[in-house]
Chains A and B, each alone.
Chain A
Amino acid sequence: MSNSKPASVNQVWLASLAALVVSVAVVGMNLMSKGHAAFNTTSHGPLPWGLPVVTYDYFVSFSIGMAFVAGAALVFNIEGLYASMKRILWIAVAALIGGILVLGLELGHPFRATYAILFNFQTTSPLFWKPILVFLYIWVLLASYAKVSKPGWSPAGMRPLGYALFVTGGFLAAGSAAVFGLMSMRPVWYDPMLPVYGIFESMVMGMAGIVVALAIGHGGVANAPEPTRKLLDGFGRHSMALFTALLLVSVVVRAWGGLWSNLDGLQVWRAVVASPVFWIELIALAAALFLLLQAQGSLLLAAVLVILATFIGRYEFVIAGQLVPLFKGSWVPGLVNYAPSLTEWMVALLGLALNFAIYTFGEKQFDLSASPAS
């Protein structure tokens, strides 16, 4: 174990271990004693997918975002990220593991899922394609990680894997969004362009994730290696600002369209906009944009704000799509009430803590700064 790691690595490692212990204890106890009755999702509510699905979906998108940025760096020869390539890919692996664990806690029969999806070939289901894409993505991710782990790895030799990361990540991001976007019976979600939006949102998350990882890994963004810092201060900051601005516009426009429309189902937007959480999302994005546009604005704070806003956005999107009941139970004109239970929050925390624990374990055990031969 290396002792030269910045204090931030140890601090995050210890915090994530503590969070893991607490969340595993609460989730384990509640799920073992009550099963999924410990969640606030209900058939008679009705709201089938709650916070665990949001969290799982977010982590998968986050992982894809990291892989995308890594792929882009390799394909377009963005040298400033080479020194961080191993770190970026390792975080993508960590986020994926966290996401899959959360999904396992949500499914009624997680072990059955490992073979039943693959062997039944329901090709019409987006949830048939998504696990297959995840499977491909894992292989490309692990192969890429293995290759950049070799001292003196060659960027030219990595380029084919860079393309593969780009393509599998792109299809997976689109496939994940299609799970929602193809549901014509749910007007908040239904949008054939949603897969494209999914790709773009993942990229913003990836950029923000890299900034946070560099801050933890080097004890501050300012301590990152010179080429990385240069990149972050110039092209990195500008492209993140551009994507954040586009994200902000799309959040506003989507809410605007929802408020304007008379389509049954979209009345949910009035409830979304009335919620303080929506305004926190907007303010976080606007503040992040403001910081990114200042030459001296804190990159780390901007990245944290983007991560917060995108998580809120994902929560809003997944939950709002289910708030108009579809002729369920004693059908009422109002909206469904849903707030995650303690167990659901702890499932989300468990996933997050696991991500950070795996990531900081990597920082402590492996040299995540392995650079290519110059």
Chain B
Amino acid sequence: MAKWGMVIDLEKCTGCQACSTSCQMENNRLPGENYQDVLYYTEGKQPTPTLKWFPRPCMHCEEPSCMHVCPTKATYKTEDGVVLIDWNKCIGCKYCMIACPYGVRFYTDEKPLIEPNLKEVFKGEGDLSWAPPYKGPQQDPTHGVGIQPPGVVSKCTFCYHKISKAPKGVPDLDEDVAELREFVPACVRSCAPKARYFGDLDNPNSRVNRLISEKNGTRLLDHTGNKPQVYYLTGAGAAGSAVPSSRSTTNKS
């Protein structure tokens, strides 16, 4: 069984947000609830501040704290290493949102980030929190795929509706391979500078594994013990350049 993981090359990422946009389309997400965000921040002060960006999906952790705290087992890990939510079991306690060190979970029964509230414009019925004019064909609540029902939490699924249909045993899901293209997560497929790679972390011949070992793949907030299955390539190989290194709150001294 594969253990799916992602590699993001920060030297190639231009911060264009094609990943965020394609994810929004694929998973019917609204502003403020993007499964895949590019975080912008500045480091340093005038006259030499630098604008930086950092793409951040769900890390599909090996030891997901979100799963360990979920009191109903609504959050679970599949055999192929993907962390998903069963919307039929979720009680909306939001403990997983508290426990995720990467802030990638969403409870969407909230004030909208922008007006008009599209959920009011395109009202959903029954178990659907809204009815967008374009909607992907899949609605699979037990895997947390499709339109989010009210009262539950959602997150990135690594496009489970795609990757779960991939042929068994392939080392990588590469959009450049025509017969695999349909199984590639939307953010990976749409990344113009090809900063994203998706493959089997348990397969020694996968490109993701080669990249991690050859280019010193690092993981975000590794000290939490969550062991992300998303790795960042930083060029220099230092974790400090991979992750936002300071919150630049005022210094004490």
Which residues does chain B contribute within 8 Å of A109, judged by CB atoms? 90-92, 151-152
Which residues does chain A contribute within 8 Å of B225, judged by CB atoms? 184
Q: Which B34-91 residues have a C-beta within 8 angstroms of A?
A: 34, 37, 39-41, 54, 56, 65, 68-74, 89-91
CB <8 Å contact, A112 and B39: no
Answer yes or no: B187 CB below 8 A from chain A CBs: no
Which residues does chain B contribute within 8 Å of A183, judged by CB atoms? 98-99
Nearest CB of B to A96, in Å: 18
- For A260, give the chain B residue with the smallest CB separation: B252
Nearest CB of A to B24, in Å: 13
CA distance in complex: A327, B94 (Å): 17
Contact with B along A31-52 (1 / 0, CB 8 A): 0000111011111101011000
Q: Residue A39 contacts which of B37, B90, B102, B110 (CB distance < 8 angstroms)?
A: B110
Nearest CB of A to B234, in Å: 16
CA distance in complex: A121, B150 (Å): 24
Answer yes or no: A127 CB below 8 A from chain B CBs: yes
CB <8 Å contact, B94 and A264: no
Answer yes or no: B216 CB below 8 A from chain A CBs: no
CB <8 Å contact, B109 and A48: no
Q: Residue A108 contacts which of B91, B112, B113 (CB distance < 8 angstroms)?
A: B91
| Chain B interfacial residues counted at CB < 8 A | 54
Nearest CB of A to B48, in Å: 16
Answer yes or no: A330 CB below 8 A from chain B CBs: yes
Q: A122-B71, A183-B99, A264-B247 are in contact. Are A329 and B37 (CB under 8 A)?
A: yes
Answer yes or no: B106 CB below 8 A from chain A CBs: yes
CA distance in complex: A186, B100 (Å): 10
Answer yes or no: B132 CB below 8 A from chain A CBs: no
Q: Which B139-158 residues have a C-beta within 8 angstroms of A?
A: 150-153
Answer yes or no: A124 CB below 8 A from chain B CBs: yes
- For A47, give the chain B residue with the smallest CB separation: B97
Nearest CB of B to A232, in Å: 40
Q: Residue A186 contacts which of B34, B40, B98 (CB distance < 8 angstroms)?
A: B98
Answer yes or no: B237 CB below 8 A from chain A CBs: no
Answer yes or no: A333 CB below 8 A from chain B CBs: yes
Answer yes or no: B170 CB below 8 A from chain A CBs: no
CB <8 Å contact, A326 and B111: no
Which residues does chain A contribute within 8 Å of B244, judged by CB atoms? 327, 331
Answer yes or no: A253 CB below 8 A from chain B CBs: no
Q: A44-B32, A122-B70, A124-B69 are in contact. Are A327 and B91 (CB under 8 A)?
A: no
CB <8 Å contact, B41 and A333: yes
CB <8 Å contact, A116 and B249: no
Answer yes or no: A267 CB below 8 A from chain B CBs: yes
CA distance in complex: A179, B248 (Å): 29
Q: A109-B91, A329-B32 are in contact. Are A48 and B151 (CB under 8 A)?
A: no
CA distance in complex: A183, B244 (Å): 21
Answer yes or no: B122 CB below 8 A from chain A CBs: no
- For B42, give the chain A residue with the smallest CB separation: A333
CA distance in complex: A23, B119 (Å): 27
- For A115, give the chain B residue with the smallest CB separation: B72
Which residues does chain B contribute within 8 Å of A41, judged by CB atoms? 107, 110
The 12 sampled A-B contact pairs (Cβ below 8 Å) are A36-B151, A37-B110, A108-B90, A108-B150, A120-B71, A122-B70, A122-B73, A127-B71, A183-B98, A185-B221, A264-B246, A327-B54
Query: 7 new A-B pairs (CB below 8 Å) besides A108-B90, A333-B41, A333-B246?
Result: A35-B150, A43-B108, A107-B92, A113-B93, A327-B220, A329-B32, A331-B40
